[in-house]
Structure 1
Amino acid sequence: MNNHVHHSAAAGYKTSADTYVRGRPDYPPQVADWLTGTLGLDDDKTVLDLGAGTGKFTGRLVATGAQVIAVEPVPQMLDKLSAAFPDVLAVNGTATDLPLPDASVDVVVCAQAFHWFSSKEALTEIARVLKPGGKLGLVWNLRDTRVGWVPKLDAIVNALEGDTPRFYTGAWRLAFPHKAFGPLEAQHFGHGHTGSPEDVIFNRVRSTSFIAALPQAQRDKVDEQMKALVAAEPDLRDKELITVPYVTSAFVVVKGG
Structure 2
Amino acid sequence: MSIHHAAEGYDTPATADTYVRGRPDYPPALDAWLRDTLNLHTGSTVLDLGAGTGKFTARLLATGARVVAVEPVPAMREKLHATYGHVQALDGRADAIPLPDASLDAVVCAQSFHWFATPEAVAEIRRVLKPGGRLGLVWNLRDNSVPWVARLDALVNQYEGDTPRYYSGAWRQVFPAPGFSALQHAHFGNGHTGSPDAVILDRVRSTSFIAGLAAAQREAVDAQVRALIASEPLLAGKAEVTVPYTTAAFCAVKSETP
TM range (shorter): over 0.9
1:220-252 alpha-carbon deviations (Å, 9 max, x no partner): 110111011011100000000000000000000
Q: Which runs of 4+ in 1 moved over 3 A?
A: none
Aligned to 1:154: 153
Residue aligned with 1:223, SS: helix
1:43-94 alpha-carbon deviations (Å, 9 max, x no partner): 1100000000000000000010000000000010000101111111110000
**Structure 1 residues 27-46: aligned runs within 5 Å:** 27-46=26-45
Q: 2: distance between equivalents of 1:176 and 1:119?
A: 10
| 1:219 positional shift | 0.4
Taking only aligned residues, the RMSD between alpha carbons, in angstroms, comes to 0.8
**Structure 1 residues 66-85: aligned runs within 5 Å:** 66-85=65-84
Aligned to 2:55: 56
Q: 1: distance between equivalents of 2:179 and 2:199?
A: 39
Aligned to 2:225: 226
**Structure 1 residues 184-223: aligned runs within 5 Å:** 184-223=183-222
Q: Which amino acid aligns with 2:46?
A: V
Q: Quick one: which of 3, 9, 14 aligns to 2:11?
A: 14
With normalisation by structure 1, the TM-score equals 0.98
1:124-173 alpha-carbon deviations (Å, 9 max, x no partner): 00000000010000000000011120000000111100010000111100
| 1:191 positional shift | 1.3
5+ residue gaps, structure 1? none
Aligned to 2:134: 135
Q: 2: distance between equivalents of 1:98 and 1:87?
A: 20
Residue aligned with 1:4, SS: coil
| 1:26 positional shift | 0.4
Aligned to 1:240: 239
Q: 1: distance between equivalents of 2:193 and 2:52?
A: 22
Residue aligned with 2:251, SS: strand
Residue aligned with 1:34, SS: helix
1:2-57 alpha-carbon deviations (Å, 9 max, x no partner): x7211101x21112111001110000011111101110100110000000000000
Say whether residues 1:4 and 2:24 are aligned partners: no
Q: Sequence identity of aligned pairs in percent?
A: 63
**Structure 1 residues 169-188: aligned runs within 5 Å:** 169-188=168-187
Residue aligned with 1:56, SS: coil
Q: 2: distance between equivalents of 1:17 and 1:191?
A: 22
With normalisation by structure 2, the TM-score equals 0.97
Q: 2: distance between equivalents of 1:79 and 1:191?
A: 28
1:157-216 alpha-carbon deviations (Å, 9 max, x no partner): 111000100001111001111111110010000111000001100000000000000000
5+ residue gaps, structure 2? none
Residue aligned with 2:247, SS: strand
Q: 2: distance between equivalents of 1:95 and 1:191?
A: 28
Aligned to 1:99: 98
Aligned to 2:117: 118
Q: 1: distance between equivalents of 2:37 and 2:2?
A: 31
